[in-house]
């Protein structure tokens, strides 16, 4: 039996960093801003970094480094990017025997165009990670204290099966849903009472609650169920967490960001690692914040993850308060 099994996407990532990537404000873009280059020109890239990503691999690396016996269920192709993923996971101490290799598909790939201020646009080829079915899950070997579930490419039916399996075998489930699951908000909300932990950012919480509410504390309460740990992150603005009528808020320390890729995965897996050690929710917020802030100071979603459990002195640097 493992301590934690992560389930979800795995990608091969390449970061292209250039001061020539320009950010412009324009209503033509859904975010109000665009990352642009001169059409028809050659663009100098100042730095290139190869890494691996995907919520399941990023979370697995954190759990393994923090001392948990960790395995991963994901889909990759029989190709060089897939080999790079399994090799890096092994280097972190993650068991890779439960990975499904799709021989007729190619591994997911992301190109991250990173501007000089650390903001980036991500070009994603979802490949083998774009479809998850029950046959991809090694049910007989899915034995752990915790399942940490990330994107399942919108397969709510598979999530339901995982929750039934978890209940039958007394496994706790933490969920950090992908956009595909969030698009099926009504069905997803019906499953929240079966979770131990839900991790979403503000925008994802808005999708899940089908509201325009922006306050993290209020979003937590809208998603609350008895016994459920709800965590709502808001980037550099901090994070809220709620359980059974108590809401906590954690401030960031203001660490400078080089790249925000992987920050959400680092926060979620760090927080769940604390809960898996039976620590209180305020400590979980501190561990999550520390892991995320460590990650954003480097390129690559795994480069900066915590390599050992933080000391009390380190934890004291993160401010957490009870919200009334």
Residues 6 or more apart in contact with residue 278 via CB below 8 angstroms: none
- Does pLDDT of 118 surpass 80? no
- Does pLDDT of 110 surpass 80? yes
- Confirm if 85 and 61 have CB atoms less than 8 A apart: no
The whole model's pTM is what? 0.94
* Coil vs helix vs strand at 218: helix
Q: Is 226 exposed, middle or buried (0-12, 13-18, 19+ CB in 10 A)?
A: exposed
- Looking at residue 253, its pLDDT comes to 85
Work out the pLDDT band at 207, boundaries 50, 70, 90: very high
* Coil vs helix vs strand at 174: strand
- Looking at residue 31, its pLDDT comes to 84
Q: What is the mean pLDDT of residues 40-52?
A: 93
Work out the pLDDT band at 200, boundaries 50, 70, 90: very high
Residue pLDDT, tens place only, 131-151: 888 999 999 999 999 999 999
Kindly report which listed range (78-82, 120-124, 162-166, 167-171) carries the lowest average pLDDT score. Answer: 120-124
Whole-number percent of the chain with pLDDT over 90 = 87
Host H or E run for residue 85? helix 80-91
For residues 265 and 79, what is the distance between their CA atoms, to the nearest angstrom? 25
**Left, alpha or beta for 210 (phi > 0: left; psi -120 to 50: alpha)?**
left
Domains of the chain: 2-23+44-323 (3.40.1190.20)
The pair of three-digit structure tokens given for residue 6, joined into one six-digit string: 């992560």
For residues 285 and 271, what is the distance between their CA atoms, to the nearest angstrom? 6
- Does pLDDT of 260 surpass 90? no
For residues 90 and 101, what is the distance between their CA atoms, to the nearest angstrom? 16
Whole-number percent of the chain with pLDDT over 70 = 100
* Coil vs helix vs strand at 36: strand
Residue pLDDT, tens place only, 271-324: 999 999 999 999 999 999 999 999 998 888 899 999 999 999 999 999 999 996
């Amino acid at each position: 039996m493992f301590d934690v099994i992560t389930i979800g996407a795995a990608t091969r990532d390449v970061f292209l960093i250039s001061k020539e990537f320009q950010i412009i404000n324009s209503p033509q873009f859904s975010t109000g801003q665009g990352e642009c280059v001169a059409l028809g020109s050659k663009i100098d890239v100042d730095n290139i970094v190869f890494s691996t990503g995907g919520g399941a691999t990023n979370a697995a690396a954190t759990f393994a480094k923090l001392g948990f016996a960790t395995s991963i269920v994901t889909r990759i192709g029989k190709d060089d990017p897939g080999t790079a993923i399994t090799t890096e996971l092994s280097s972190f101490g993650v068991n890779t025997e439960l990975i499904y290799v799709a021989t007729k598909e190619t591994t997911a790939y992301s190109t991250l165009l990173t501007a000089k201020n650390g903001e980036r646009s991500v070009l994603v080829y979802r490949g083998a990670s774009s479809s998850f079915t029950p046959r991809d899950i090694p049910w007989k070997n899915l034995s752990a204290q915790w399942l940490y579930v990330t994107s399942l490419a919108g397969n709510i039916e598979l999530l339901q099966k995982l929750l039934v399996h978890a209940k039958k075998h007394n496994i706790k489930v933490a969920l950090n849903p992908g956009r595909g699951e969030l698009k099926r908000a009504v069905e997803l909300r019906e499953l929240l009472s079966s979770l131990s932990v839900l991790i979403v950012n503000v925008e994802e919480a808005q999708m899940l609650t089908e509201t325009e509410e922006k306050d993290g504390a209020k979003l937590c309460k809208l998603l609350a169920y008895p016994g459920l740990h709800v965590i709502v992150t808001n980037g550099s603005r901090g994070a809220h967490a709620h359980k059974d009528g108590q809401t906590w808020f954690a401030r960031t320390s203001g660490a400078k960001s080089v790249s925000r890729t992987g920050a959400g995965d680092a926060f979620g897996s760090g927080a769940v690692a604390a809960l898996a050690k039976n620590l209180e929710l305020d400590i979980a917020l501190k561990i999550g914040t520390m892991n995320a802030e460590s990650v954003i100071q480097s390129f690559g979603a795994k480069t900066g993850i915590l390599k050992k459990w933080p000391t009390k002195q380190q934890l004291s640097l993160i401010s957490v308060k009870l919200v009334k």
